[in-house]
Structure 1
Amino acid sequence: MSDIILKAENISKQYRLGVVGTGTISHDLNRWWHIIRGKEDPFLKVGSVNDRSATKKSDYVWALEAINFEVERGEVLGVIGKNGAGKSTLLKILSRVTSPTTGEIKTKGRIASLLEVGTGFHPELTGRENIYLNGAILGMTKSEIKKKELDIIEFSGCQMYIDTPVKRYSSGMRVRLAFAVAAFLEPDILVIDEVLAVGDAEFQKKAIGKMQDISRGEGRTVIFVSHDMGAIQSLCSRLIVLKDGTVDFTGNVEDGVARYLSNISIGQINYFNDSIKVGIKKITFCNSEGNEIQTVLVGQKVLIKVELLNPDERNLTLSLGFTDMFNNFLFSCRSDVVNVNYSSSKAEALLTIHKWPVSQGAYYYNILTIDGMSALQFEKEAGIINVEKGDFYGTGKLPGKKRSFYIDYRWD
């Protein structure tokens, strides 16, 4: 007989666009008048689907709609989906950070959440004091926390700074300590968002190993959100795919990853919008004649036009990086490496890749805008480009399997 530790029943979350809070006084009064008469909230019947690329059609949007699932004790449940699919909203509801508009979450035992770097930390308290604070929030006694204190400190690697206020920690130190606290204070359910991306590669590997120990060795439950398909495949026993605020798939990991990748439309833009004040506003892929293209051929000369906003005429460095659908880094093109910066108030930068080096498939591109030593703009998965087979070597032959990386060479 299965041991259900968490159950989500008809979970929906509605937001009103453009405002902080529930909306207007008239809407609140309208809701109140319906509720005291025992009628349904009139605004539950309105609202747009959570599709960020769509034009606004309503003042309300459903970030999540009719989400139902169960999690068994000891299970590692992965949650994936495009940016804006509702992943973080779902985790905030599971963690009691926000309440659902409709539906109910039923849980057995304590939940520890790691949703953002240093969540639950008091910046003025030391790392050691925050360990005890977080333990108390989880309902643990001082003696219970003390038994875990040395393990937490050792795992985090913050021994030297454990009695320093966490406001002086780097983001990497905060996430290492936050993860160690959440993992070692023995919650029944551990909820983890994308925050592990802040840590270095060594710590990420260590953290994934600890999550495996938690689920397999200690029988506790992990709910894990990530864009790293490698981590999802190595860690999770089951997968939920979210799409536009609804459950698009629930089942085994292999089929879930395939469904997620099939949902990604080639050439879509996830990020760019009219709110950009400084940095990259638009990216257009073109062929050698300057005509816009949605698909690149292996070996093709590609011109990438970058529309840039720089009203204060800062001396900006631009970078465009590429990863595969599993978030594996492939290559990047950074302007300052070739001694180019941009200081015009409004300009179009041009990146030329003489022979496209990556094989057939779909790839994310990430953008980065830097002013001196400060990153003004950094967005992962800003867009997607599709690549088809091409004649890289001028022989009609392409050796290697899918996702090979080609270089230009010559035998004499």
Structure 2
Amino acid sequence: MKNSPIITVKNISKKYNINHQQGGYIALRDVITNIFKNPFTFLKTKTKEVLGIETKEEFWALKDINFEIMKGEVIGIVGRNGAGKSTLLKILSQITPPTTGEIRINGTVGSLLEVGTGFHPELTGRENIFLNGAILGMKKKDIVRKFDEIVKFADIEKFLDTPVKYYSSGMYVRLAFSVAAHMETDILIIDEVLAVGDAEFQKKCLGKMNEITKEEGRTILFVSHNMGSVKQLCNKTILLSNGKIIDFGETENITEKYLSLSKETTSEKWENKGNEFNNEYFKPEKFYISKEKDDSLWVNIETTINKLDESLTVGYALYSEDNTLLYWSYQTDSKESDWPELNIGNNKIKSKLPTEIFNSGIYKIELIASLYFKEWIISPNNINPTIFFNFSKKFNESKYWVQKRPGIITPNNQWKIIK
């Protein structure tokens, strides 16, 4: 049928079982005694259940999801970290099955969900184009036909015959998006991977997505924390919260609702509840805003380090009220002699916020950490420690600057007469 939906989702739910193991030290003699007393029970429940008490908790990542999408529509999916966005895309991409419910997809699907998915680190960019294209469902003759366009769009000509293990995360994203965008599928599913790329490439990607929907009539599902990108690209948007659809409608209305919900749940402090983000190189303990006597605001990070690595970079990503990324900042941004010294054990570092250029509004700060050019420990736009703070601009002595101005930043620039 001409007007039949290209995607139909009926009563989709996704459940995960989370194992919790409790219990302290048990002597070897007690373990041996348990083996002889109940040998079959021991074999069945395995060592971990003898050493501790294991319980299971049901976690519903998605609950009773229903919607229809028509051919050629561009649908945004927004929600806070942990809302269920990525789980929904994985189900639609047929990477993971739903626990209950039914999905009907009338067409081919291409997805770009995680940086580097479908890439082999030892293969070159050229080889990975063919590998990634094959994984995404392209025939070899189609890859050959599109090869030059893919390389040109990704802007990796100089590194085409370099193993991708030497690529930056931005180069990974450029190549992965280019392959996915040039694949002639009916549906393109894109998660928040574009946040890794630079602003110019993000703009280029949005232009390409506009092109393939308007000129080719393809359907796009787009997850993003950047409300500006969602407004620019999507005509309708789904708002998810705690695994449920809160609303589905015109993008302008949904993004306003999402931002208003974010404002209601602001918190200037995050604390680790136990073993969250447990990593030997960097485990965050506290992440919060502090105010000094001079009214300056500082981002504070308290961490435990069990193994030192000189490539460790720790910092934060700052977002404006509409979730536009303003900047990343790391403890390694200055010359090496000025880096704060990190040691094994507990560490406390802080960074001053440049509030002199801030506009009034609510800002979001995400903790990020990595081993430079090796691996992310806590990646941006993921389920990571996040804090919010409400900033009120103190207006200067000018009688004409007495209220909030348009724009993301509002610096008090110096003006002089030219004689």
Normalising by structure 2, we get a TM-score of: 0.75
The residue that corresponds to 1:45 in the other structure is none
The residue that corresponds to 2:289 in the other structure is 285
Between 1:306-315 and 1:78-87, the stretch displaced more is 306-315
> CA separation in 2, counterparts of 1:389 and 1:180?
42
Change over 3 Å in CA distance of 1:106–1:195 after alignment to 2: same
> CA separation in 2, counterparts of 1:143 and 1:347?
55
Give yes or no for the alignment of 1:361 onto 2:361: yes
> CA separation in 1, counterparts of 2:355 and 2:126?
53
Residues 279 and 369, structure 1, Cα contact 8 Å, conserved in 2? no
> CA separation in 2, counterparts of 1:130 and 1:71?
32
Partner SS, residue 263 of structure 1: helix
Counterpart AA for 1:91: L
The residue that corresponds to 1:40 in the other structure is none
Residues 122 and 130, structure 1, Cα contact 8 Å, conserved in 2? yes
Q: 2:99 aligns with which of 98, 101, 108?
A: 101
The residue that corresponds to 1:231 in the other structure is 229
Residue 245 of structure 1 and its aligned partner are, at CA, apart by: 0.5
Residues 300 and 356, structure 1, Cα contact 8 Å, conserved in 2? no
Counterpart AA for 1:362: I
The residue that corresponds to 1:384 in the other structure is 387
Residues 76 and 235, structure 1, Cα contact 8 Å, conserved in 2? yes
Residue 158 of structure 1 and its aligned partner are, at CA, apart by: 2.6
Change over 3 Å in CA distance of 1:146–1:304 after alignment to 2: closer
Give yes or no for the alignment of 1:326 onto 2:322: yes
> CA separation in 1, counterparts of 2:355 and 2:158?
49
Q: 1:154 aligns with which of 145, 152, 155?
A: 152
How big is the alpha-carbon RMSD for the aligned residues of Structure 1 and Structure 2? 3.6
The residue that corresponds to 1:87 in the other structure is 85
Partner SS, residue 194 of structure 1: coil
Aligned residues: 368
The residue that corresponds to 1:244 in the other structure is 242
Residue 229 of structure 1 and its aligned partner are, at CA, apart by: 1.3
Residue 231 of structure 1 and its aligned partner are, at CA, apart by: 1.1
Residues 317 and 340, structure 1, Cα contact 8 Å, conserved in 2? no
Change over 3 Å in CA distance of 1:76–1:7 after alignment to 2: same
- Alpha-carbon deviations, 1:220-265, whole Å to 9, x = none? 1111111111111111111001100010110011111011112211
Counterpart AA for 2:389: N
The residue that corresponds to 1:63 in the other structure is 61
Counterpart AA for 1:61: F
Counterpart AA for 2:75: L
> CA separation in 2, counterparts of 1:81 and 1:372?
29
Between 1:362-371 and 1:225-234, the stretch displaced more is 362-371
Residue 393 of structure 1 and its aligned partner are, at CA, apart by: 3.4
Change over 3 Å in CA distance of 1:190–1:308 after alignment to 2: same
Residues 110 and 138, structure 1, Cα contact 8 Å, conserved in 2? no
Residues 301 and 355, structure 1, Cα contact 8 Å, conserved in 2? yes
Residue 189 of structure 1 and its aligned partner are, at CA, apart by: 0.5
The residue that corresponds to 1:9 in the other structure is 10
> CA separation in 1, counterparts of 2:354 and 2:126?
54
Residues 271 and 285, structure 2, Cα contact 8 Å, conserved in 1? no
Give yes or no for the alignment of 1:190 onto 2:188: yes
Q: Percent identity?
A: 39
After superposition, residues 182-221 of structure 1 pair within 5 angstroms as: 182-221=180-219
> CA separation in 2, counterparts of 1:138 and 1:247?
28
Partner SS, residue 19 of structure 2: coil
| Structure 2 stretches lacking a partner, 5+ long | 21-40, 42-54
The residue that corresponds to 2:297 in the other structure is 302
Change over 3 Å in CA distance of 1:143–1:99 after alignment to 2: same
Residue 131 of structure 1 and its aligned partner are, at CA, apart by: 3.6
Partner SS, residue 341 of structure 1: coil
Residues 320 and 326, structure 2, Cα contact 8 Å, conserved in 1? yes
> CA separation in 2, counterparts of 1:361 and 1:394?
21
